[in-house]
Structure 1
Amino acid sequence: MDDAKRLFLNSLLMIHLFTSSFCSRTSDIVTINQTIKEGQLLISKENHFALGFFSPGNSRYRYLGIWFHKIPEQTVVWVANRDNPINGSSGVLSVNHHGNLVLYGDHNQIFPVWSANVSVEVADACEAQLLDTGNLVLVHGRNKRIVWQSFNYPTNTLLQGMKIGVNKKTGLERFLTSWRSAHDPGTGDYSFRLNPSGSPEFYLYKGAKHYWRTNPWPWREYAEAFNYSFVNNLEEIYFAFSIDYSSVILIAIVDESGLLKRLTWHESDGQWKEYWSAPKHKCDSIGRCGPNSLCDPYNITSYECACLPGYEPKFPRDWHLRDGSGGCIRKRLKSSSVCGHEEGFVKLSMVKIPVASAAVWVDMSMSQMDCEKECKNNCSCSAYASIPIAGKETGCLAWYGELIDTIYHIDYGYDLHVRVDAIELAEEARKSHSSLKMEGMLPILVSSVASVWFAIAIFAYLWLRRRRVKNKRNRRSIDLLSGYKDTLIANEVEDSSKHPDLAFLSLSTILVATDNLSPAKKIGQGGFGSVYKGQLRNGQDIAVKRLSKNSGQGIEEFKNEVMLIAKLQHRNLVKLLGCCIQGEERILIYEYLPNGSLDLFLFDHTRKSCLSWSKRFNIIVGIARGILYLHEDSRLRVIHRDLKCSNILLDAEMNPKISDFGLAKTLKGDQIQYKTSRVVGTYGYMSPEYAVFGKFSTKSDVFSFGVILLETLSGKKSNGFIQDPSLSLIGHVWELWRQGKALEIIDSSLKDSYNSDEALRCIQVGLLCVQEDALDRPTMLKVVLMLNSEIALPSPKQPAFVFRKSRSNSNSSLMGDDGSACSINDVTITVGSTR
């Protein structure tokens, strides 16, 4: 070849490389004449996603992947050559002349390190495009027919619109597989797959062994967090999710430790935050307690495994030693059989129903009564569940054979009806009527609201009877602390070096700051004791919360508040500055908020005029954001348990700050909700499942927030509402909503100054929060999104506590052993049950 030809060909090659490089940086498409090389990116049209080469962690290898382009922290959602990395920095992606998308480690390689493994008849019409969904597609022809897509071959991340399931015609299975490590995206040990047998359910696998599962379809846990679609027809069976809010970025991943996580991107913090993960506790392990058993993750006082009604341990003597793995078998029948001899069913409420491999959908549209008949008429049917199905009311799911992996699940559980013989049925009925335990007596008592209050009175009496013992325990704890003064205070509550901004003050310092706790300095009073305004020697104003000796809160609640709030930092949470334990004194020092608590404005005819519509709306949104931080964004994940207007403080600009964390509970790594025999909080703000059954979760706080929201809109007390003698404030709002007159609840002091659209949206959100069924209430993430956007809202269902209790009992109080009264309406109290 002469020099002229060589120069010409080299020039053409340079032009090709330049145009290839230029196009790859400015387009979302790669054609046959283009390549993607090191340092070049393919970017989707709206800049949501980018495709290029990367090295994870401290790896020296190069991989082709897709990640979020707008997020500073590179989050890879798909990897092409995850099991065949490139050793070096000379990778090239292109569409070859056979219409195949191929990746080479360098130009000299004969075989690609990865390919889409497709071939088309007319190759020159093929091109690859990165969509704004994060899907890389290979399309053919003018009609842009998709011949291959990355969504069909997920790695460890589930994105909106991505399917998980099986194509029945082609046999293609889409599932998630973890990375080997944070530095190696190769195929890991853990996978997340859809199991189509019985009623479809998801499983987490380690290798070929499954170790966690969801509820069978329909999935309440997914419906709560986002919209999902489920398709099951002759061609395919799959699950996919979507979100109504374009500003929210949500993904699900299977990480290298084997956890399934849902993450949201928080722009303000510049990081991903986990708001849900599984598995969490022992009961999450499939078959933890063996067949025909019930696992209770909320049982913190005894063994978590128990047998289902009508069953007994297979190995009674070593039931605990075997860790429940032996499971349970049918009790020795007291009657001849469990079929055809007046047998029946015992209902287990709020449980994760058994594995679906032994289950059959009898009918997708069948009433519970007909479902029970169907199961009863088949001697092989061991249990049934009547499950709500969108568009079909309820369907009938029946189990045949052993019942595996039944678990109490407060938020996402169903009712399971277990078949028992006639004598066992009679025994269960006797227990439900005669037992004084909370679960035994309340189904009888809750037939009316008045009965609920009667039950509360009984529990309060039992609490008062045990109070002396608790006070003695607290005094012993205080005696142990008092001799060590400030040094021991720091050690007892928590190492002060972990909280350099938290001061440990002496009692003398506090007395000087408050003029010896002068009554003139007193600015508040509650069930915990008194609050004083003080001023430190440096001129800083402080609020001093002094727990009274007669407070229902003891040393444990005091320590709880110090440890919790010292770790929580948010603009809508009150800031704890310091604490003091000296002798019998228990004192907390907060930032001073000049406008006091929200209730002082809302329920005062003169001061409520200071709360314009914009201020009220900002207060509502601020409280919601504070609770969202507690539930999902803080490192502790906290359930407050005593949210009320008197615990919402206002700063100089009327910004709300949540206070009083003495009764708060943290969600531990192995727990998502609690069940307790100690019901704490303030009646009127407590959710029904908590006040009556002692079951609480983040949805309990959502209910309390709904009450606060309605009080803020109306300027009326939930407990003191007297406009309609038969209805509570919640009931009054509900009736006006049903009549299309919801705006009549708006505080008359606002006149016509409020935004009617915003007001109606707030009322609707408030009613959604106070719905009777905890499952129907939105999460605080959804609440914040609904308050700050114009998305369509669901219609609220029947709220809790619609009707008022008897007026004759409206001002009743519970008397203590020393003759002191504990108001059941206005003071935070702790009620102990017989459990």
Structure 2
Amino acid sequence: MFNHGCQRISVCVGRKMGFSSLFLLYILILLSLCSCYYGDTISINKPLKDGSLVISKGGNFALGFFSPVGDNGKSGTSSRYLGIWYNKVPKQTVVWVANRDDPIKDSSGEVSVDNHGNLILVSSHSPGVQLWSTKKEAMPMFFNASAGAAAQLFDSGNLVLFRGGRGMVWQSFDHPTDTILQGMKFGLNRTSGALSSLTSWRSSDDPGTGDYSLKLDPRGSPQLFLIKGTTRREPYWRSAPWPWKKYPHVYNYTFENNEAGVMFSYHTYDPSITIRIVLDGVGILKPMAWHERDGNGDWREFWSAPKLRCDLYAHCGEYGSCDPLRVNTFECSCLPGYEPKNPMEWSLRDGSDGCVSKRVNSSSTCGEGDGFLRLEHVKLPDSSHAIWVDVLLSSSIDLECGKTCLSNCSCSAYAIVNANEEKKRLCLQWHGVLVDTTNRGTTDGYDLYVRVDAVELAGRSTDLDGLPKWRSMVAVMGASVTAAWFVIVSFYLVLRRKRQVKDKANSRRSDQSTDGSLGYRERMGNELPIGSGKRTYHQDLSFFSLSSISAATDDFSPANKLGHGGFGIVYKGQLPDGQEIAVKVLSKNSGQGTEEFENEAELIAKLQHRNLVKLLGCCIEHHQQMLVYEYLANRSLDSVLFDETRKVSLDWNKRYNIMVGIARGILYLHQDSRLRVIHRDLKTSNILLDADMNPKISDFGTARMFKGDVLGDRTHRIVGTYGYMSPEYAVLGHFSTKSDVFSFGVVLLEIISGIRINALCEEDEPQNLIGHVWELWKVDMERVMQVVDPSLEDEKEKRFEDILRCIQTALLCVQEKADDRPDMLAVLLMLNGERTLPSPKQPAFIFREHPLMSKQEEEEQCSINQVTITMCLSR
């Protein structure tokens, strides 16, 4: 049990005690108990002071003053709040807060019933000021206090205010904070006009109004909306339309839609199970149950939302559909009869613009031959503008529902929904835009029938049995003829293309026998030998001859050397057309070189993002392997960041833009590229800067690709750089997207401090930069600002909150346990100030540089446009 502020009395008792002493001890114990327990009511003559508690009759809930406890189990503030919490749950779990935005600075808080019959909260710290009160209603000018007014805490967790002769006039269930309790009716009360909502805490130790809120939209088929933002409020997540999924043997929903209102509530089948639905500080909605075993207990969630990208509201825009189960392809697609509104953005895996009708005439779906195509097992679209339709015969509801939809030109889709409570099937029709449709796999969701025109039906059979199909026969025949011609023409073009490729290959061999080398630059569209086998390269990758690379680098002149690393040397060069390049020459002595070369050439050619370095091509000739990159004028981030002269050019705005740019690049690798990519060697020397100081991630030789939702793997061959490697990877070989998050956190600290990760390590001091920052963070937020680069001294005060947010984000990234670290989407939102930051847990900072690394190797880490400086260790 946590400290509720109760006074405790310690009494020393000797072996011999008289009657008077025993009586005195009894009186003292009673006084101690009275200071902690106050029954279950508050009345005019019985206020509740800080240090006392109101406990419900069955002991389930307590009302009193508390200081919030964070995820680390410690209170980060001395502020006091009036709240309700579980009395029988050992872990502090507050479910309702009165003065969430007006904390009391000391323990002088007092809540009472005033002469007007309202609950009021006051503090001697702010005399004459009501920090909180129940909603004031029209009261008689002379309210008779003796008639009785009291607030009672019930075992349901509901605090109810009664007034004599008027019954209940206020209850906490109508004004929830971040939690929905059992029996609480959540939604629209038509009698009072009140629409209840949840609002998240700012953080685990700050109950102030957060950035996320949850409301029930009563229009159409009711659904829950998670709203993001306090000023510009936008939908962030949406539940499926009612009815919702139920959890047999655990809890069930009850839904009411009548004259009184549109509200839902839930209850458990087993009264001994404690369940709550909470909206946390980072915008995640979680139904949770208290689970206790072997004397230890904790809250466990049934599910959470949003969880995937497809959970985000309108992720694929209007008339788009999102499929989280897709592998190696973009998760967004258009509904039948629609195509991408912005094909270019769609090709870049941004479907937010949505889809438009394939036919210019939007009325084509309201004419002769239109019908429906079925999408199976989907989360039904936003039902704000949907309507329930009564049909005549439940046995043929599919046919009747489809016919009534066809009779109305504004009807764009329909679905047949099972109303379990009413034990019948209902017809739900959409009128207008279809948005936020998501594939639910094969076992969940409902079938959605999307209205399409006759042209779209051509070649397809409508899934609506009984509707006439003869009207689309003409369109089908026309489409068949067109398809036949298309096949014939395509076959001819394929044969012609093969002949051209063969002729071009023969011509190339002829040129090689004459010149001994290939031309300056050839597009690779065929297979080229690498190692002992053959490998097919990306069609957009160019092939450079050795002679052209030699000419561009002035015969690999030492004057053009930019740097070197574990896999070779990097040279600067210039092509005949004036374009500057960076050439990575693979070392012949590298045992791992061929594998990394092939991996990087294939991988980076497929990746296109403004924050990834661009690969122009490669050279494979005379057993020599080279990669040709774009040359970036400001070279690598470490060469600027750790140079006392050059770092002055990096003001806070530039450093912040570099952080965000790197985060966007990693997010693309982890989530938005066609394959999930884990970099495994992210560090400041692998971040290159263009002329405008825009960052570009380089060195993909050690990167790993994964399909679908695979998040990581294990290896016995550890590649990377000590200090940047996550502990689970450095010690056990476990790597995942969270490994890159750890490395990014290290890079953030280096950018903020201008200090190398291991620069602070000494023989008698095991801590590196992470440990140094953590020790300062544990003291206070002011102290941690000491780590900021001295060149930013003039900006520290002005940018205090921004810098502090970035430091806290970095500490969240380098937490010791991978599961505690945020993903890159959350990190980017944190950097942008769009997400509340939780308190960081213990970071991993005991890993230092490898003892075999020489001083010379340590100095060479400051690369100049260096593409690879990876240290490889075999296990």
TM-score normalised by structure 2 residue count: 0.46
Instruction: Answer with 1 or 2: which has the greater Rg.
Output: 2
TM-score normalised by structure 1 residue count: 0.48
